[in-house]
Amino acid sequence: MAESLPILLVPGLNCSLRLYAGQMPAHRVDSRPLLASIRVPTLVLVGEQDAATPPDLSDEMAAAIPGARLARIAVCGHLSTMSDP
């Protein structure tokens, strides 16, 4: 499966495609119904070029969490905290 994944990694990052493949949406439980129950301050952070969790989905998450803030990082993909610390 890892062979068919698009390369979404920033050059220089030491990340395993196999680990990444294990986190793909087909292998994860949909937690969206639980978002409304979050009762702590929440920041939803997304890279504008995130292909794994597109910004539109982050907008949806932020809207579903009471009081959440949304921050978008321009020129970043899925690993925004690593590629643009």
24-74 pLDDT per residue, tens: 555 667 888 999 999 999 999 888 888 888 899 999 999 999 999 999 988
Is the residue at 58 inside a domain? yes
- Predicted TM-score of the model (pTM): 0.63
Domain tally, the chain: 1
CA-based nearest residue to 65, from 43, 35, 41, 44: 35
DSSP three-state, residue 63: helix
The angle subtended at Cα 2 by Cα 55 and Cα 44, nearest 5°, is: 20
Is the residue at 52 inside a domain? yes
At residue 62, the pLDDT reads 96
Is the residue at 1 inside a domain? no
Question: For residue 74, what are the domain limits?
Answer: 6-83
Is the residue at 11 inside a domain? yes
